[in-house]
A and B are shown apart, each in its own frame.
Chain A
């Protein structure tokens, strides 16, 4: 007799759909989450808590990563994040980083599922086709709209992915600047896209609708409107009576037997067991790992056993490989207050409603200027800066490389805060999978409990920068057409730590992939991985909707047994 039918490790967007689906089907489910269990009653619009102290993420002195970035002479420089301050944690609490997302949601497009066939190989990139098609995932994208809650409006559009019917929730309130973007795009011959949001525009169950405080991305949601795994899925899973969530439960290893099956999970209570001296164990019929890509690979690599000398499911050396980020570049422009009519000024200054606009005209690029035939491109997403006034103000103390203070500093603050508003855009193109972007275990740096931390090499393919540059140029054109000043942009190969996938890619060949098309490990029959780790290529949008959809798909596969 096992303790549970299903043990899920990690409670974010990869874990929540499995917990809800299987708990509703009557399975006994336990969710082990390393962090605490906050609720709406704990989330306030507090910049110190969200963004300037380690409240929702570990203290880097206790738990960190080692990041390897490229040196100028072709080598790799490894820096522990406790020294660099470059935090790769994204929300260690029940619901994971989905608590803190902005929730602008994009589906992948059909072309993302067969990039190799569609666009051909690129030297130095491990481009592959997916083992499933868009059509297989589409019903689960629909399910996310209903169950997690996605607000939007279906507008026919030249690049829109096939979908059935309109959204279940009307669009969230939109900012006046959204109309300005539409006008500018129309003049330029571009097709601005109305972006759906995983934020409730109308109440549902125990969740209130959005209250438009404007403090959304990177803040926890006080109303329950944001479609976090916690608010949308886990609270309901617990209500079935079949799902138990154990917060403060840090899994250290998955133990496996000589046949290569997981026999039990080893974990510690982070509140009471500072030195990992009182390890706890439980067993289940099926184990589901969803710790976000880097930590999922780390857990498998740490879980050696009689059949797995190099880590669980890693007899072909694929675990941790082909890590992906969602990146490309970014830009911004300012709208000066001076000279605006009162009406327009008030509209521009409004805080709360969403921008909800993106461009996907260049999702595939066929432009002689790039000279390479048809290429995979990406999207340009418009947004206001996240509301972090302290962070912004602190940056203004530097004038070039010199410290500024006193009245000159105060004049600079007045200028930044009171004379204009900045509109940003972010470009997302594919982060090509390469041999220079992967997760391994660090040989010397350990976490607080003595486990080797993840060492992450963050190399990127130069092709990514070329596409990123192409996209940010388009973003700049729109801002200039809108009348923005100080328009600036850059393409970048620097990884956004919060948008990460890959490392356990799925595929049909056990020699080149960790998971099969059902996201079950090729080598371990009672192991599934349901976070973003499964993605062999990332597509040109943030991953969250796809992670939710795929986790619902895998949950149905487990249920079908």
Chain B
């Protein structure tokens, strides 16, 4: 079974063959990409419908001028009763050339849904299977999530640490709805270095 690094590399090669990248894949049939809109609509399902993602662009991010937009990644909440509830794992910011820039975690008010506990989110990540995905974008997203599992683990720890102090002083609902807290943690991405370190010594 190919590693996550191999899967990401394979997707990159196929994106390149098509003169595309993950964001262009999302926007390929979009005549006018508009700030604030979500692409696609409805959100792209993957992992047998247990995950959803969309891409959008808006000014409220910490990525600065080099950030074009970001994918929000959601996983279905296990305890959903009648209607599925969604939990936000993280956002994957992309630069203006369609390259992954950083992961970031947001406060709950930003994405709504159920608040994702660290261990539960990582379990959902571990359950992903890149090979089972049909589309190249879904494969790339799943492989990226698994390739950066350790960073996402640390990201969620940082997220929780950021909230921990406030939770001592305020009720959780108040903290998770605090609009002065947008991004709680981030983790930069250097995909070239990551793949190089993961694929070192292998014939790719």
- A and B interact: no
